[in-house]
Amino acid sequence: MSSYEARFKVWRGDAQGGGLEDFTVEVNDGEVVLDIIHRLQATQAPDLAVRWNCKAGKCGSCSAEINGRPRLMCMTRMSVFTREETITVTPLRTFPVMRDLVTDVGFNYTKAREVPAFVPPAGLGPGEYRMMQEDVDRSQEFRKCIECFLCQDVCHVVRDHEENKKAYAGPRFLMRIAELDMHPLDAAAETGLDRKRTAQDDHGLGYCNITKCCTEVCPEGIKITDNALIPLKERTVDRKYDPLVWLGSKIRRRSSPA
């Protein structure tokens, strides 16, 4: 074990503009990028703005772009870089900068509100829910999401196209729809809500062209594209174009009370 001096470039500025600032800073054995940012705060730049919380990869607060790649600062070990390398830390590009490494991630909270909530099944009281482990496995994978919004940041549908933000919920919230759709007891259909159809019509599922960038950056290793988005697309296609499924859904909806 040994310490060394590393070269960092950290973006500093606000909504009006800013640029990369150079720092030389001590690095010790076992440290992660967030440790170095904290050392900068404590010794060189006390007002350097950064969001963080658990420092254990569980809360999803310290998302940033490290050498251009969206990552959690608390889970990026300094040992993955060579000692000669200059490490560049910039804020998430898809969201408006507030200050330094902190961005306005309000887009994600707006989208979260647009996804209709879990609908509890009528006639089942608390304590009466019965579900098999194999039936909850799929939705549980999606509920591992720590809402770091790295997938939202990397997704090129919105990363380079501000104009798509209105119509597109992004991987995290399309996955939320898939999660609810695969929930064994979600009763949305009984209330006339077709989650698959709304994924397509209201949340922009069609914009996704399965480049899997979201899956690649997910710190939880969730297979967003393969397990959530593609199945959702396949089911949507079934719904939209299969006349028998279409007919079945019409008949069932008419015979149900609401």
Partner 1 sequence: MSVVDRQEWDVVVVGAGGAGLRAAIEARERGARTAVICKSLFGKAHTVMAEGGIAAAMGNVNEHDNWQVHFRDTLRGGKFLNQWRMAELHAKEAPDRVWELETWGALFDRTKDGKISQRNFGGHEYPRLAHVGDRTGLELIRTLQQKIVSLQQEDHRETGDYESRLKVFQECTVTRILKDGERVSGVFAYERETGRFFVLQAPSVVIATGGIGKSFKVTSNSWEYTGDGHALALLAGAPLLNMEFVQFHPTGMIWPPSVKGILVTESVRGDGGVLRNSEGKRFMFDYVPDVFKEKYAETEDEADRWYDDPDHNRRPPELLPRDEVARAINSEVKEGRGSPHGGVFLDVSTRMPAEVVRRRLPSMYHQFKELADVDITAEPMEVGPTCHYVMGGIAVDSDTAAARGVPGLFAAGEVAGGMHGSNRLGGNSLSDLLVFGRRAGWHAAEYAQGLTQDRPPVGDAQVDAAAAEALRPFSAEAEDVAGPPENPYTLHQELQQTMNDLVGIIRREGEMEQALKKLAELRVRARRAGVEGHRQFNPGWHLALDLRNMLLVSECVARAALERTESRGGHTREDHPSMDRAWRRLNLLCRLSDPTGSLAATDPVRGQISLAPETTDPIRPDLLALFEKEELVKYLTEEELYE
The two tokens of residue 152 are 């939202």
- Decide whether 156 or 216 has the Cβ nearer to partner 1: 216
Residues 72-111, interacting with partner 1 (CB under 8 A)? 75, 77, 98-100, 102, 105, 109
Kindly state whether residue 230 participates in binding partner 1, applying the rule CB under 8 A.
no
User: Which range, of 53-61, 88-96, 189-197, 203-211, touches partner 1 by CB under 8 A?
Assistant: 53-61
Neighbours of 50 (CB within 10 A): 20
Kindly state whether residue 44 participates in binding partner 1, applying the rule CB under 8 A.
no
| Cα 187 from Cα 121, distance rounded (Å) | 5
The two tokens of residue 258 are 């609401």
Q: What track of x and - describes contact with partner 1 for positions 5 through 34 (by CB under 8 A)? A: ---------x-------------xxxxx--
Size of site (CB under 8 A) for partner 1: 58
The DSSP-derived string for 153-196 is HH-HHHHS-GGGTTT---HHHHHHHHHHHH-TT--TGGGT--HH
Which of 121, 115, 258 lies closest to 185, judged by CA? 121
- Decide whether 57 or 231 has the Cβ nearer to partner 1: 57
| Cα 236 from Cα 198, distance rounded (Å) | 9
The two tokens of residue 74 are 């608390």
Considering the complex, what minimum distance in angstroms separates the CB of residue 186 from partner 1?
Answer: 8
Kindly state whether residue 244 participates in binding partner 1, applying the rule CB under 8 A.
no
Task: Specify the residue for token string 């710190």.
Answer: 219
User: Where does this chain bind partner 1 (CB under 8 A)?
Assistant: 14, 28-32, 35, 41-43, 46-61, 75, 77, 98-100, 102, 105, 109, 112-113, 116-118, 120, 126-127, 129-133, 136, 139-140, 143-147, 180, 183, 186
